[in-house]
Structure 1
């Protein structure tokens, strides 16, 4: 079995990339750091570092050990935290979601935190792919997704659904295919997914979003409809993101003949049981939202 102390020293050294600063962080001598690395190499019978004077690079074995070892160390840290602090209303909870979910969920979680002062909510907006990666890498405790996760290390279940809406500048009747092509598309991180779902079911000409010229892009959920309101193009967004726009008179919302809703999933790491406070967060979202 790999010595956890040696593994921690090795992973810290890789992250800090400096022997002296590693020794300072771990409250060790520099020779102690070197001894831990040497003992780890001897135990594993392979070279982990290629030394170049005071610098070093990782060998292939060293890279593999760091990738897996750092995850193990995080798992051990999580286990220790959960054993000592498993209150449903205290501790940190890291949440990530696409912006459309965040607009709906974040205020509710802030209200939860205001009621329970020892609970700390760290909420970050990110595209589906980034949310999934964050959960897989233990950088988020809980992820909300608008696509079913594909990574084997993630488990999920469906919370509900939210309608997708076609949005054009004000003054447009329900647009035909030619009108959409003339307007152009305002992109956003989940635009390809949203457009594929809605447009493919309502426009026979649609094959992929690249058929339509892109006239803008924003990765800020609150700003995606700004160029639409100025007549620069159209976009497709979940209903709550559209409803949060503060200039509704400058846009036109279209409910198409074949309505489409996207599923919303809650996910977490398969190998990490949820702490009680994380269940509190999920239950809060479930109880308040009829998605």
Structure 2
């Protein structure tokens, strides 16, 4: 590896053209400048200069090394400039949330990327636990979760409430009560179905199902593709519980409906990042989109 201190001395010498003036500029002695040049030549096993009294000429190898020094200095200046300037319109946006939230936000994120081609949107649908782990491990920069954060290294900004709904086909909602539909039609299972359904039963005061356990319900089908969860529901094949935003951004929204509840069934929604990490300016776009989206 080339010693950058020796390389900088050589570059300065070439540009000034005089050993004594180079020493003055670098706050060195003239013998010190000569030593740097000799050490650089020895490390590269070449001659950089042809000396003629107090003057010198670059060898062909010396010219190549000088061009390399110029390129290195230019790249360093570019890096320092980029570090000083946090461009809000370029860079990666890494973000993770539940499938319903990603479905709601993704079209707006793509519009954002279309307006600012320098942005690269990287999103992943994941459960709370994996989102928290990914942020803690530095795999992603930010995420949205509905769980309280126990990790002292993370900060959580309250965004609002994520409303949960029991969803069935339009015919099923018109024909059955919520409890009847769950018992008679069964449940469309998905990665969050157990947690969502149990919370829905508890918070919506479906007393006749309070004692029921997950294994008691008839799981009529399972799907882990979020965009397809409402397809069987729309066909009358079971019911399911999802965030309300999943309906609004679904292609099946005109074929499904929700059972009304006495109380709003919801969970608190948090924007999570590392506590000591300052997010780049581009994340202000993401937060604006999140806060402009209705989740309840």
Give the deviation of 1:264 after TM superposition: 1.8
Structure 2 equivalent of residue 270 of structure 1: 275
Structure 2 equivalent of residue 289 of structure 1: 293
Structure 1 equivalent of residue 87 of structure 2: 87
Structure 1 equivalent of residue 261 of structure 2: 256
Structure 1 equivalent of residue 10 of structure 2: none
Structure 2 equivalent of residue 125 of structure 1: 125
Q: Would the aligned equivalents of 2:166 and 2:178 in 1 still touch at CA under 8 Å?
A: no
Q: Would the aligned equivalents of 2:188 and 2:229 in 1 still touch at CA under 8 Å?
A: yes
Structure 2 equivalent of residue 238 of structure 1: 243
Structure 2 equivalent of residue 156 of structure 1: 156
Of 181, 187, 190, the match for 2:189:
187
- How far apart, CA to CA, are the structure 2 residues paired with 1:82 and 1:269? 23
Structure 2 equivalent of residue 203 of structure 1: 206
SS of the aligned residue for 2:160 comes to strand
Structure 2 equivalent of residue 214 of structure 1: 219
Q: Could you say which structure has the larger radius of gyration? A: 2
Structure 2, gaps ≥5 residues long: 1-79
Give the deviation of 1:176 after TM superposition: 4.6
| Aligned counterparts, 1:39-188, within 5 A | 83=83, 86-172=86-172, 173-188=175-190
Q: Would the aligned equivalents of 2:183 and 2:217 in 1 still touch at CA under 8 Å?
A: yes
- How far apart, CA to CA, are the structure 1 residues paired with 2:244 and 2:95? 21
- How far apart, CA to CA, are the structure 2 residues paired with 1:285 and 1:217? 29
Summarize the Cα distance change of 1:153–1:210 in structure 2 as closer, same or farther, 3 Å threshold.
farther
Q: Would the aligned equivalents of 1:165 and 1:239 in 2 still touch at CA under 8 Å?
A: yes
Structure 1, gaps ≥5 residues long: 1-79
Summarize the Cα distance change of 1:158–1:134 in structure 2 as closer, same or farther, 3 Å threshold.
same
- How far apart, CA to CA, are the structure 1 residues paired with 2:81 and 2:155? 22
SS of the aligned residue for 2:227 comes to coil
Give the deviation of 1:223 after TM superposition: 0.5
Q: Would the aligned equivalents of 2:181 and 2:239 in 1 still touch at CA under 8 Å?
A: no
Give the deviation of 1:272 after TM superposition: 2.2
Give the deviation of 1:85 after TM superposition: 5.7
- How far apart, CA to CA, are the structure 1 residues paired with 2:289 and 2:254? 33
- How far apart, CA to CA, are the structure 2 residues paired with 1:88 and 1:223? 35
Summarize the Cα distance change of 1:283–1:245 in structure 2 as closer, same or farther, 3 Å threshold.
closer
- How far apart, CA to CA, are the structure 2 residues paired with 1:89 and 1:223? 33
Q: Would the aligned equivalents of 1:128 and 1:190 in 2 still touch at CA under 8 Å?
A: no
Give the deviation of 1:174 after TM superposition: 4.7
Between 1:134-143 and 1:164-173, the stretch displaced more is 164-173
Q: How many residues align?
A: 211
User: What is the CA RMSD across the aligned residues, in angstroms?
Assistant: 2.4
SS of the aligned residue for 2:228 comes to coil
SS of the aligned residue for 1:140 comes to coil
